């Protein structure tokens, strides 16, 4: 009787056993290589994956986690009628505003979170986070980011400052001067920027009111990114400020307490 390439049975069994040994050895080798790759990736992730920064040294590992967190946020949890009555926001409380509608609008490309807030007196504002993805160009510096975004969106600049660790610029919208605009930037740069667009407000007389409203969203963004840094990088905003050359802002972290 002949089996396997016309070899006698005993020889065919011998070659079959040899073939099985080779197959099993190859399978075990593949598993070992795969496990080694996974372990190496896991061991490197905490060390090599970094928050974005600017210029050629910037990385993009946290763009997706940041965008996902923003997309899952509820607008009413960020700003609501209780916010309007807070003693910590005296100018906003003095306005006697009442929210009638708070809506999470449908996310758009590069805009994972869009919140619309409508007041009883007809005024309203929207808060939008503008995100990056892995194909997004990254500006060489924070100043370059400011110049690009503000140059494309702001008309007259009425007020600008650093609140906590985030810089903001307030003025009129470049397309519609009746709309007031604030652009807010996080120094670690894991999302491009956020904006607040006000309708029905007088831009020149409400920049102090904007400071209080912007402060609420500033704190939300800080806490959101602190969560991302802790869960995906095992680090903190304070450590990343050191890494990317913003150590001077660490004294402002008490703003978030």
pLDDT digits (tens, 9 = 90+) for 228-256: 999 999 999 999 999 999 999 999 999 99
Spatial distance between the Cα atoms of 158 and 215, rounded to a whole number of angstroms: 17
pLDDT of residue 49 exceeding 50, the answer is no
pLDDT of residue 39 exceeding 90, the answer is no
pLDDT digits (tens, 9 = 90+) for 83-121: 999 999 999 999 999 999 999 999 999 999 999 999 999
DSSP-assigned letter for residue 233: T
- What angle separates helix 63-71 from helix 207-232, to the nearest 10 degrees? 120
Q: Is the pTM of this model over 0.75?
A: yes
pLDDT of residue 55 exceeding 60, the answer is yes
pLDDT digits (tens, 9 = 90+) for 56-81: 888 899 999 999 999 999 999 999 99
pLDDT digits (tens, 9 = 90+) for 3-21: 444 444 444 555 555 655 6
Q: Which residues pair with 152 in a beta bridge?
A: none
Per-residue model confidence (pLDDT) at position 44: 32
Spatial distance between the Cα atoms of 36 and 97, rounded to a whole number of angstroms: 59
Contact 236, 246 (CB under 8 A): no
Contact 73, 224 (CB under 8 A): yes
Please report which residue ranges of the chain form alpha helices under DSSP H: 9-48, 63-71, 75-78, 81-84, 90-94, 142-153, 207-232, 237-243
pLDDT digits (tens, 9 = 90+) for 181-219: 999 999 999 999 999 999 999 999 999 999 999 999 999
Spatial distance between the Cα atoms of 126 and 70, rounded to a whole number of angstroms: 15
Per-residue model confidence (pLDDT) at position 57: 82
Per-residue model confidence (pLDDT) at position 2: 41
Q: How far is CA 141 from CA 53, 137, 174, 202, 237, in A?
A: 8, 12, 23, 32, 18
- Which letter, b or e, does each residue of 164-192 get, where b requires 16 or more Cβ atoms within 10 Å of its Cβ? bbbbbbbbbbeeeeebbbbbbbbbbbbbb
């Amino acid at each position: 009787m002949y089996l396997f390439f016309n070899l006698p049975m005993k020889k065919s069994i011998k070659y079959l056993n040899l073939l099985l040994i080779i197959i099993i050895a190859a399978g075990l080798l593949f598993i070992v290589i795969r496990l080694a790759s996974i372990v190496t990736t896991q061991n490197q992730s905490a060390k090599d994956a970094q928050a974005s920064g600017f210029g050629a040294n910037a990385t993009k590992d946290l763009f997706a986690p940041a965008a996902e967190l923003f997309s899952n946020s509820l607008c009413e949890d960020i700003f609501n009628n209780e916010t309007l009555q807070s003693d910590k926001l005296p100018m906003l409380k003095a306005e006697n505003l009442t929210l009638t509608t708070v809506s999470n609008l449908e996310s758009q490309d590069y805009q994972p979170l869009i919140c619309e807030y409508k007041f009883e007196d007809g005024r309203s504002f929207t808060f939008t986070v503008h995100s990056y993805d892995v194909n997004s160009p990254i500006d060489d510096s924070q100043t370059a980011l400011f110049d690009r975004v503000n140059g494309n969106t702001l008309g007259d600049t009425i007020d600008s400052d650093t609140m906590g660790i985030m810089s903001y610029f307030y003025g009129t919208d470049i397309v519609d001067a009746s709309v007031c605009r604030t652009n807010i930037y996080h120094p670690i740069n894991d999302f491009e920027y956020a904006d607040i667009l006000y309708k029905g407000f007088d831009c020149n007389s409400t920049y102090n009111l904007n400071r209080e409203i912007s402060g609420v969203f500033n704190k939300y963004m800080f806490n959101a990114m602190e969560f991302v840094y802790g869960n995906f990088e095992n680090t903190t905003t304070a450590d990343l400020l050191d890494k990317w050359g913003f150590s001077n802002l660490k004294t402002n972290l008490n703003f978030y307490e």
